[in-house]
């Protein structure tokens, strides 16, 4: 006979919830990155008087590269989290199949026990 997987399924669903919360936090971090990028571009624009044009462009490129790097890292993390969520969902499907079989076997055994005890 297989075993009850209800607790395992619940634990996996909890993991999915935590991963989805992490995705929400990452989405919020995108808004913060936008604000930081805007602030840095504004700072670079205000620095025109202090920098030669060549240095200003270099600063803007540095800001852009930093922003692109952060977004790439974030994107990679989002992809990994989404992949993990899909893995867990697949595990849940397997466990639900096992759990259904267990509970059907359990119900059948109880019926047989009741029938033989009558």
The predicted pLDDT at position 67 comes to: 83
Could you tell me the residue ranges of all domains in the chain?
Answer: 6-117
φ, ψ for residue 51, nearest 5 deg:
-120, 155
Summarize pLDDT for 4-56 with one digit per residue, the tens.
999 999 999 999 999 999 999 988 888 888 888 788 778 777 766 665 666 77
Q: What is the pTM of this model?
A: 0.70
pLDDT in the model for residue 35:
86
pLDDT, tens only, 53-82:
667 778 778 878 888 888 899 899 999 999
* CA gap 33, 85 in Å, rounded: 25
Give tens-digit pLDDT for 71-114: 899 899 999 999 999 999 999 999 999 999 999 999 998 888 87
């Amino acid at each position: 006979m297989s075993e009850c997987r209800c607790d395992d399924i619940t634990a996996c669903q909890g993991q999915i919830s935590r991963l989805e919360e992490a995705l929400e936090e990452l989405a919020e971090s995108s808004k913060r990155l936008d604000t930081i990028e805007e602030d840095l571009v504004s700072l670079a624009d205000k620095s025109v008087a202090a920098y030669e044009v060549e240095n200003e462009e270099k600063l803007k490129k540095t800001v852009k590269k930093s922003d692109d790097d952060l977004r790439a890292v974030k994107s990679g993390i989002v992809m990994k989290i989404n992949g993990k969520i899909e893995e867990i969902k697949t595990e849940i499907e397997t466990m639900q199949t096992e759990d259904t079989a267990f509970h059907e076997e359990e119900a059948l055994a109880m019926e047989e026990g009741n029938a033989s005890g009558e």
